[in-house]
Amino acid sequence: MSSSPAPALTVERSLFYPKDLTGNPVESSRPPTVVAMPAYNEEGYIAKTIVRARQYADIVLVVDDGSKDDTVPIARALGALVIQHEINRGYGGALQTIFDTARKIGAGELVIIDSDGQHDPRDIENLLRKLREGYDVVIGSRFLEGATGDIPAYRKVGMKVLDTATQYASELNITDSQSGFRAYGKRAIQTIQFGGNNMSAGSEILIQIGAHDLKVAEEPIRIRYDIENTSSLNPLFHGLSVLSAVVRLISYKEPIWFFGIPGLLLTTFGVFAGFTAFSEYYVTTRFPFTLFMISTLTLIMGMLLITSGLILNFLITVMSTSKSGDGQTPPK
């Protein structure tokens, strides 16, 4: 098997560039185009993906996320720049390494594609063409006219739920928020940062794109769902995990609405239940203890939610003001 893993940020810069006949690195006059792919036990498909992606890239980057098979030696034999994680860090961790490495390389364009054969590398050309028209981010969409691939019905339903939640959080009008096939320009590469290692990283990126007013476009892509073992996660678990993360991100972005509206509804119900309880006691002289306890609990929960929303909104406002004072753009 391969030698000891190399940390992403300690790889020598000379390894990022192709070499001439004498073995010396050749650096282009323009920032390199990088095609990157996360990989975890993809020995069956990664060779074809690398070979087909190379014609569109100056550098093919493979971030191996703790594979136990021959993914790494195959990728290295085909001339890819391989960076290994000693342990599996998840999709978000692989993306973080990709973006960190792209910044270290000084990449002018970054295309991220799956290594499992689901994406067609021929679509890289279309994403790059759109990127070069002046967009900061181009998303490969499975739902635009011209896209091909028989997406299972249950996946479509889950994708639309996640699309709706992500669009609300990011304020971006896009058709495929969960697509992992994307192209990023220089501004996006420098802007995007990561806060977690899970599968919600794609949605987190879109929220950052919306917050920084990056220019976004979509391009139809080809997708395959007839390939076995393309994901180690149960689709339902994956969808619920991403949805919960997106909801959490929404709560950070709009705490007054997220906590305040449920809090107001609970408080209103509590007041109504309390009024009903005292009215019944006034008429019948029997005190409705159960109804009174329901009223008390809902009032407490409602007031706690409203207070939480106000406190979080205050903290976010203070943090945004502080970032703005440091010359950074506050999130919307």
What whole-number distance in Å separates Cα of residue 81 and Cα of residue 94? 14
207 closest CA partner among 191, 185, 186, 183? 191
What whole-number distance in Å separates Cα of residue 187 and Cα of residue 205? 13
Burial of 168 (0-12, 13-18, 19+ CB in 10 A): middle
pLDDT band at 243 (very low <50, low <70, confident <90, very high): low
Query: Average of pLDDT values for 29-40?
Result: 92
Q: In what order do the strands lie in the sheet with 59-64?
A: 81-84, 59-64, 33-39, 109-112, 182-185, 137-141, 216-220
The pair of three-digit structure tokens given for residue 302, joined into one six-digit string: 């409602």
Looking at residue 310, its pLDDT comes to 79
Instruction: Note the pLDDT tens digit of each residue in 197-235.
Output: 555 677 888 888 988 999 999 999 999 887 765 555 555
> Is-contact 107 34, C-beta < 8 A?
yes
Looking at residue 4, its pLDDT comes to 43
Burial of 111 (0-12, 13-18, 19+ CB in 10 A): buried
pLDDT band at 19 (very low <50, low <70, confident <90, very high): low
In sequence order, which ranges of the chain are alpha helices (DSSP H)? Answer: 46-53, 71-77, 90-105, 124-131, 153-170, 186-191, 201-211, 235-253, 255-284, 289-325
Query: Average of pLDDT values for 161-168?
Result: 73
Between 12-21, 91-100, 226-235, the lowest mean confidence (pLDDT) is in 12-21
Decide if pLDDT at 192 tops 50: yes
The residue with greater pLDDT, 39 or 203, is: 39
The pair of three-digit structure tokens given for residue 39, joined into one six-digit string: 């990989």
Looking at residue 14, its pLDDT comes to 44
> Is-contact 245 165, C-beta < 8 A?
no
Query: Average of pLDDT values for 245-251?
Result: 61
Query: Average of pLDDT values for 232-259?
Result: 62
Burial of 199 (0-12, 13-18, 19+ CB in 10 A): buried
> Is-contact 146 220, C-beta < 8 A?
yes
Query: Average of pLDDT values for 97-112?
Result: 96
> Is-contact 130 140, C-beta < 8 A?
no
Q: Which residue has the tokens 């990449």?
A: 107
Give phi and psi for 253, each to the nearest 5: -80, -45
Looking at residue 1, its pLDDT comes to 42
CA-atom Rg of the chain in angstroms: 25
> Is-contact 179 201, C-beta < 8 A?
no
Report the mean per-residue pLDDT for the chain.
81
221 closest CA partner among 323, 299, 324, 138? 138
pTM metric for this prediction: 0.69
Looking at residue 162, its pLDDT comes to 72
Give phi and psi for 218, each to the nearest 5: -125, 150
pLDDT band at 113 (very low <50, low <70, confident <90, very high): very high
